[in-house]
Amino acid sequence: MRLSCDVIQDLLPLYVDRACSEDSTGLVEEHMAECENCRQTYDAMKTEGKTEELVNSEEFRKQQTDSVKKVKKKWSRSKKIFLTLGIIIGAGLLYILIRVGFVLGIVGFLLFDSATTKVQVYKDVAKYSEYIGENCNTEYGKPRTGQFVIFPKEITPQMYVQDFQYVYYNPWDPQYVSYLTVEYKDEAAYEKELNRLQTIGMEEYTGLYSVTGEPEGYDLVAMDKDRYYGFVYAMVPETGEMKITYVGIMFCNYFLDLDIHEYMKEEYLLPGFDATSDNPYEKKMMGK
């Protein structure tokens, strides 16, 4: 592959100092065998002190930056050439390599971790205390919002569990989707729990993540919302049954990686809820 004189002359300082890779050295030598102008430039650069002067000059740094832009533009469609360009840049700009390499390493790790992280779904209410509560197993992390406050601390004998699911996903920030529906066998226990929830209170939540109101057929009795992390709420059916449904949807960075419709029953979901990537609320908060 024949490179232009501009690219070759950008590489000559590295070639003189023997800092080029084998591939780059071969490309430079092949070009100079046919180009008298570049060969004369090379001869001049070999004189005492010339290389050091060029390497330390602002002009050289500018030439390196310009050469990177030129080579990227020319080689953007070829993975093999792109990798060669990476070697050239790394050899000529070691301090940049360290910084860029570190960043790319972190990004690569996050992408790999995200691709290999599995969604964990738990439905065994007998292990409720391991999933939710102040003493939950560290494997599941600890939600940042009010799940500990709104969800019951434990399942008591007065509670008949009708529905339960706990979903934990942590590609790089923990995310939680959980719901619990219980029917209280004892009216006194039911009233006590209602009083507890009503004491927690209702934070204003409509408008966040396009939410418009309460789930159809339910009345919200407690709401802990966070503009950044999501919602935790409790609700009772309008029919007057002694049932309470607890819901937690928690995430980070204004969006949820999980498909909420896959892991949350529609009847429990706040109408209009949209936490998909690039959702309207995220765009508003991020100024997109």
Reported as a pLDDT band with limits 50, 70 and 90, residue 113 is very low
Judged on CB neighbours under 10 Å (0-12, 13-18, 19+), 224 is buried
* pLDDT at 287 exceeding the cut of 90: no
**Considering its fold, how many domains does the chain have in total?**
2
* Residue 140 three-state SS: helix
Is pLDDT at 164 greater than 70 in this prediction?
yes
Q: Do 63 and 132 sit in the same domain of this protein? A: no
- Rounded distance between C-alpha atoms, residue 9 and residue 273, angstroms: 58
For 125-240, strand residue ranges (E) read 159-169, 175-184, 218-226, 230-237
Task: Clarify whether residues 74 and 53 are in a common domain.
Answer: yes
Are residues 64 and 165 located together in one domain of the fold? no
Model confidence at 77: pLDDT above 60: no
Judgement on whether residues 96 and 128 belong to the same structural domain of the protein: no
Same domain as 232, residue 124: yes
pLDDT mean over 129-158: 75
Rounded distance, CA 277 to CA 280, Å?
9
Residue 232: name the closest of 261, 192, 200 by CA. Answer: 200
Same domain, 28 and 61: yes
Which has the higher per-residue pLDDT, 201 or 174? 201
Segment 155-166 shows an average pLDDT of 94
pLDDT at 140: 62
Q: Residue 71 class from Cβ within 10 Å (0-12 exposed, 13-18 middle, 19+ buried)?
A: buried
Q: Are residues 249 and 275 in the same domain?
A: yes
- Judgement on whether residues 66 and 14 belong to the same structural domain of the protein: yes
Residue 95, helix vs strand vs coil: helix
- What is Dmax (Cα atoms) for the chain? 97
Say yes or no: 232 and 274 in one domain: yes
Q: What's this model's pTM, rounded to 2 decimal places?
A: 0.61
CA–CA distance, 251 with 134 (Å, rounded to integer): 19
Q: pLDDT for 8-46, tens place per residue?
A: 878 888 888 887 788 888 888 888 888 888 888 888 887
Higher-confidence position of 38 and 106:
38
Looking at the structure, do residues 32 and 146 belong to the same domain, yes or no? Answer: no
Q: Which helix (H) or strand (E) holds 93?
A: none
- Model confidence at 208, pLDDT cuts 50, 70, 90, reads very high
Reply yes or no on whether the pLDDT at 151 is more than 90.
yes
Report the mean per-residue pLDDT for the chain. 81
211 φ/ψ angles, rounded to the nearest 5 degrees: -70, 135
Residues 269 and 236 in one domain: yes
Single out the residue of 233, 203, 201, 196 nearest to residue 218, CA to CA: 233
Helices 79-92, 22-32: axis angle to 10 degrees equals 90
160, 270: one domain: yes
Element (H, E) at 50: helix 50-55
Give the domain-ending residue among 115, 138, 158.
Answer: 115
Task: Collect all residues with Cβ–Cβ distance below 8 Å to 99 and sequence separation of at least 6.
Answer: none
Give SS3 for 223: strand
Give mean pLDDT, residues 220-247.
95
Mean pLDDT of 259-275: 96
**At which of 97, 115, 133 does a domain end?**
115
Nearest alpha carbon to residue 243 among 269, 268, 224, 260: 268
Name the DSSP letter for residue 35. -
- Domain final residue pick, 55, 86, 115: 115
**pLDDT score recorded for residue 111:** 46
Domain containing residue 38: 5-115
For residue 60, is pLDDT > 80? no
Whole-number Å distance between alpha carbons of 106 and 100: 10
